[in-house]
Amino acid sequence: MTLEGRDTADPSAATQPVAPEDAEGYSRGLNPRTIQMIAIGGAIGTGLFYGSGGAIEQAGPALILCYLAAGLAIFVIMRALGELLTYRPVAGSFAEYANEFLGRFAGFVTGWTYWAVWVSTCMAEITAAGKYVKYWFAVPEWVTALAVLAVLLAANLISVTLFGEGEFWFSAIKVTAIVAMIVIGIGVLIFGFGHTTQSTVTNVWADGGVFPHGFGTSLLALQIVVFAYVGVELVGVTAGEARDPKRTLRRAINTLPLRIALFYVGALLVILSVVSWRQFHAGKSPFVEVFEQIGIPGAAGLINFVLLTAALSSCNSGIYSTGRMLRSLSLRQDAPAQLSGLSRRHVPYAGIAASAAMMVIGVVVNLVSPDKAFGYITSVSTIGIIFVWSMILVCHLGYRARVRRGELAASDYRLPGAPLTNAAALAFLGLVVVLLFFSADGRTAIVVGVVWTLLVCAGYLVMEELRKRSSVTEPNAGGANR
Q: What is the pLDDT of residue 391?
A: 96
pLDDT in tens, 100-109: 999 999 999 9
- The whole-angstrom separation of Cα 276 and Cα 283 is 17
State pLDDT tens for residues 192-204. Answer: 877 777 888 998 9
Whole-number Å distance between alpha carbons of 388 and 78: 12
**Mean of the pLDDT values across residues 307-336?**
87
User: Has residue 135 got a pLDDT over 60?
Assistant: yes
| Mean local confidence (pLDDT), 173-182 | 88
CB 85 within 8 A of CB 246: yes
Distance between CA atoms of residues 1 and 6, nearest Å? 8
Average pLDDT over residues 451-466: 91
pLDDT at 374 over 80: no
User: Residue 409 has what DSSP assignment?
Assistant: P
**Which pLDDT value is given to residue 263?**
83
C-beta separation of 174 from 335 below 8 A: no
Query: pLDDT tens digit string along 149-165?
Result: 899 999 889 888 888 88
**SS3 (DSSP) at 242:** strand
Give residue 366's pLDDT band: very low, low, confident or very high (50, 70, 90): low
Question: Can you give the pLDDT at residue 373?
Answer: 59
Alpha-carbon distance 18 to 56, whole Å?
47
Q: What is the mean pLDDT of residues 243-255?
A: 80
Q: What pLDDT, in 10s, does the model give residues 57-101?
A: 989 999 999 999 999 999 999 999 999 988 888 776 788 899 999
Q: What is the pLDDT of residues 257-313, one digit of tens each?
A: 888 888 889 999 999 999 999 988 887 788 888 888 888 877 778 888 888 888 888
Strand partners, 105: none
The per-type count for the chain, helices as H runs and strands as E runs, is 22, 0
Q: Which CATH number fits domain 27-466: 3.30.830.10, 3.20.20.70, 3.40.640.10, 1.20.1740.10?
A: 1.20.1740.10
Mean pLDDT (whole number) for 7-24: 38
Name the band, by pLDDT with cuts 50, 70 and 90, for residue 415: very high
Is the pLDDT at 136 greater than 60, yes or no?
yes
42 pLDDT band, cuts 50/70/90, is: low
Domain ranges of the chain: 27-466
Q: Is 350 exposed, middle or buried (0-12, 13-18, 19+ CB in 10 A)?
A: buried
Amino acid 377: pLDDT: 65
What's the pLDDT at 479? 41
Distance separating alpha carbons of residues 335 and 95, to the nearest angstrom: 12
Q: What is the pLDDT of residue 321?
A: 86
Report pLDDT for 16. Answer: 36
**% pLDDT > 90, the chain:** 26
Q: 218-232, 417-431, 463-477: which has the highest mean pLDDT?
A: 417-431
- Average pLDDT value over all residues in the chain: 82
Amino acid 10: pLDDT: 37
Report CA-CA distances (Å) from 119 to 126, 164, 190, 444: 11, 19, 44, 17
- Band (pLDDT 50/70/90 cuts) for residue 12 is very low
Q: What is residue 361's predicted lDDT score, i.e. its pLDDT?
A: 78
Q: Could you tell me which residue, 324 or 236, shows the higher pLDDT? A: 324
121, 338, 86, 343: which is closest to 228 by C-alpha? 121
| pLDDT of 14 higher than 60 | no
Q: Which residue did the predictor score with more confidence, 369 or 17?
A: 369
Where does the pLDDT of residue 369 fall: very low under 50, low under 70, confident under 90, or very high at 90 and above? Answer: low
